[in-house]
Structure 1
Amino acid sequence: MSSITPRKLLGAGALAAVSLLALTACSGGGAASQSTATDSSGGGGGDSGYVISMVTHETPGDSFWDKIRAGAEQAAKDTGATLQYANDPAADKQAQLIQTAIDSDVDGIATTLATPDALAASVQAAADAGIPLVGFNSGIDQYQDVGALMYFGSDENLAGQTAGERIAEAGGEHPLCVIQAAGSVALEARCAGVASVVPGTENIQVNGADDSAVVAALQAKLQQDPSIDYIVTLGAPIALDALDAMEQSGSEAKLITFDLNADAAQAIKDGEIEFSIDQQPYMQGYMAVTSLYLYLKNGNDLGGGQPVLTGPSFVDQSNIDAILPFAENNTR
C-alpha cells in the first residue's frame, strides 16, 4: 500500500507495540444502540476480566462502523476482556452513553471525539472517576485538550491535503466535497484540507442517514453546476450514492472517496472510483481496546503522548487487488 507521510510519526514504543500485536490490519441522525460482547476464552492476553466500554457517534446502518467494531471485538477476544459497545450520532446522547459507562464502573472507555466540546465534561467525569479513557477515529487535534490519554486515528487535515494534491495534479479545479454529518470535526478537516490545495473546492451538506436524500441532493447540484469536475465523498456509502447521482445527472465529474467497504473497493477495481484514502478503521478499534488493556495491566502508553496514526493511505488501482479480499472480509 502506498502510504502518505504523516505529520507525526509513531513513537518507538507504539511501533514496538504494533509489531508485537501483529496487526493485520463518520455521520447523521439515528437511534442509539447498545450491546455487549463477552469472550473470556483466552486468546493473546488470557482472561483479563476487564470490562471496556466503546462509545461512538455511529449512525445506524453505516458500514464503516462494522470494521471499527470488528477490530474492537477481536481485541476483546485476544485480551480476554468484555466489550460493551454503544453508539448515538447525537452529541448529547453520546455524552450520556459515556456517563452510563462511568456509572457502570467499567475498567476503561474508548470513545470517538467527533464533537469534542460537547463531550469534554463526560471525558473529565471519567478522569474524575479514575477510569482511563482513550480517543479514536475523530478528535486528533482536541483529544489532549479534553483529557483523553491516547488517540488512534488518521490525520484528517493531512488526508484532505493529499487528496487535494492528487486532484490538482490531475487538473481538477472545482471539487465538490460532500459532508454527511453536521458538526463533525473530522469531516470538516478533510474538506478544509482539500480546499487548502484546490481553492475552488465547494462544500455541500447532506443527510448521511438517508441514501435517497443524498442521491437527490447530489443529482440536483451536479445538474445545476456542470463545472464540478471532482466529487469528494467522506465515507464509502456516500461514494456509492454519488455514483448513482452521477449516472442520473449525466455528470462527467471524477469521484474519489475516503474510507472503504466491499462495494467501494470493487468500484475502485472497476475504475468507477479513482481512489480512496483509507484510515484503517479495523486497526483503530483494535488498538483502542488493546491500548486500554495494556494501560490497565502494565501502565503502557502507546504513542508516548503523541497520536498513533492509522492513516491516511491511498487505495487505488496499484494496490486494490491486494486489499480487496480484506475489504470483503470486513477488516479493511
Structure 2
Amino acid sequence: MARRRTARRARTAAVLAAAIALAAAGCSGSGGKESEDKPEQSGGGGEGPGTARMKIAMVTHSGEGDTFWDIVQSGAKKAAAKDNVEFLYAANKDGKEQAQRVQQYIDADVDGIIVTLAKPEAMRDAVRKAVAAGIPVITINSGAQFSKALGALSHIGQEETIAGEAVGEELNKRGLKKAVCVIHEQGNVSLEERCAGVKKTFRGSVENLNVEGTNMPSSQSSIEAKLQSGKDIDAVVTLGAPFAAASIEAKEGAGSKAEINTFDLNEEVVKQLKAQQIGFAVDQQPYLQGYLAVDGLWLHKTNANVVGGGKPVLTGPAIITEKDVPALEKYTANGTR
C-alpha cells in the first residue's frame, strides 16, 4: 500500500512538473497535442487545462428517475470537460450496493471519488478504504457530519437540519398549522434530518409520511390517502422535486386545500411555482455540488488545494417563491438549476 501511495505521489509530481514546464515555455492550454483523451470543450471553444488526464468517479444514492441527480451530473460533467477529467457515475438506493461500487472504483485505481453519505453506516468502510488507498474523497449532498471522520477532504452541500428549520419558519410566516413531511426513502439520514428541522421550528404539528419513492403512483396514492383522512392538514412538504407533482395530483384527488411545498428545484417546480400550484421550494444548487466536487478533486491533485479548508462548503438552503421565477426560468430550462 505504501508503494502504491508513493507511486501516486510521483504521478502527481510529474503532472505538476509538466504543467510548470508548459507555462514556462508559453505553450497553449492543450499542450499543442491532439489526444483521444482530450475532453469535449465547452461552448466557448477554449482549450483544455494543460494537465494530465484524470479519472474521477461519483457514487450516489439516487433512485431511478430522480431528476435531481441529472442536475448534479450536469455540473460534474461541465467541470470534467474543463479539467480534462474522465467522469464516471454510478448510483443505487441500496447502501451496500453503493459501497460495492466504491470498491470497484478503488480497484480501478481512479484518481478521486465523490460519494454521498445518505446511509453512512453502509458507506463507512468503503470510504475509509479509498482514503487508505491514497484516493482522495469528497462527499456531497448527504451526511456532512460523517464526512471528516471518514477521511474525506471536504463536504459540499446544504446543512439538512438548517434547511428543515428554514422550511418550518417559512410555514409559520404563511400561517399554516398542520403539516405532513413526505419521506421518499426510508433510512436516508438527510431526509430524516430535514423533517426533524421542520419540526424544530414549526409552531404547528408535523407528521412524517413514508412513501415508496421509486414507485410514483404508489407515492401519490399514499399522499392522497393521508390528505383524505386528515382534512385539517394545510401543508404538505415533499423532500424531492418529483414528489411535488405527485402531491399536486394527490391534493386534487383528495379535494384538499393543503399548500404544497418542496425541497429541491427543477424546471417543473419552477413552472409549478409560476402557476401557484406550490407555495415555495428549497434550492440547494445541485449543479454546484457536482461542479465543485469534480473541480475540488482536480485542484487537490494539481495544486494540493482543499476546497473549504476542511470544513463543509454550503450550497444552500435558499427559499424560492413565485417572485424568483423570472430570474431562474432560463437556467432550469437548461437543466442547470
Q: Distance in 1 between matches of 2:50 and 2:250?
A: 50
Offset from partner CA, 1:179-220 (integer Å, 9 cap, x none): 000111111111000000125110000011111001100111
1:301–1:105 CA distance, 2 compared to 1 (3 A)? same
1:134 to 134, 138, 146: 138
Q: Distance in 2 between matches of 1:154 and 1:277?
A: 10
Shift of 1:114: 0.6
Q: What are the ranges of 5 or more consecutive residues in structure 1 without an aligned counterpart?
A: 1-37
Shift of 1:40: 2.5
Runs of 4 or more, structure 1, over 3 Å off, are: 41-44
Shift of 1:276: 0.5
2:328 to 323, 329, 332: 323
Q: Distance in 1 between matches of 2:179 and 2:49?
A: 47
Asked if residue 45 in structure 1 is aligned to residue 49 in structure 2, the reply is: yes
Contact 2:39–2:48 (8 Å) recurs in 1 = no
Matches within 5 A, 1:190-205: 190-198=194-202, 200-205=205-210
Asked if residue 306 in structure 1 is aligned to residue 306 in structure 2, the reply is: no
- When the two structures are superposed, what TM-score results if normalisation uses the length of structure 2? 0.85
Shift of 1:44: 5.5
Task: Give the greater-gyration-radius structure (CA).
Answer: 2
Matches within 5 A, 1:66-145: 66-145=70-149
Offset from partner CA, 1:50-87 (integer Å, 9 cap, x none): 10011111112111110000011111001011011111
Report the AA paired with residue 318 of structure 2: S
SS in 2 for 1:304: helix
Aligned to 1:278: 283
Q: Distance in 2 between matches of 1:61 and 1:304?
A: 34
1:229 to 225, 230, 234: 234
Aligned to 2:66: 62
Contact 1:39–1:82 (8 Å) recurs in 2 = no
Q: Distance in 1 between matches of 2:38 and 2:226?
A: 48
Offset from partner CA, 1:86-114 (integer Å, 9 cap, x none): 11110000000000000000000011111
SS in 1 for 2:291: helix
Q: Distance in 2 between matches of 1:218 and 1:258?
A: 16
Aligned to 2:176: 172
SS in 1 for 2:139: strand
Report the AA paired with residue 104 of structure 1: A
1:41–1:226 CA distance, 2 compared to 1 (3 A)? closer
2:271 to 259, 266, 274: 266
Q: Percent identity?
A: 41
Say which structure, 1 or 2, has more relative contact order (CA 8 Å, 6+ apart). Answer: 1
Report the AA paired with residue 255 of structure 1: I
Contact 2:158–2:317 (8 Å) recurs in 1 = yes
Report the AA paired with residue 191 of structure 2: L
Q: Distance in 1 between matches of 2:48 and 2:118?
A: 31
Shift of 1:48: 3.0
Asked if residue 214 in structure 1 is aligned to residue 219 in structure 2, the reply is: yes
Report the AA paired with residue 128 of structure 2: Q
1:321–1:39 CA distance, 2 compared to 1 (3 A)? farther
- When the two structures are superposed, what TM-score results if normalisation uses the length of structure 1? 0.87
Shift of 1:174: 1.0
Offset from partner CA, 1:23-59 (integer Å, 9 cap, x none): xxxxxxxxxxxxxxx7535655245301001111111
Contact 1:150–1:306 (8 Å) recurs in 2 = yes
Contact 2:56–2:112 (8 Å) recurs in 1 = yes
Contact 1:39–1:76 (8 Å) recurs in 2 = no
Contact 1:259–1:279 (8 Å) recurs in 2 = yes
Contact 2:118–2:189 (8 Å) recurs in 1 = yes
SS in 2 for 1:142: helix
Q: What are the ranges of 5 or more consecutive residues in structure 2 without an aligned counterpart?
A: 1-36, 42-46
SS in 1 for 2:308: coil
Task: Quote the RMSD (CA, aligned, Å).
Answer: 1.2
SS in 2 for 1:141: helix
Shift of 1:139: 0.9
Aligned to 1:23: none
SS in 2 for 1:203: strand
2:186 to 177, 182, 186: 182
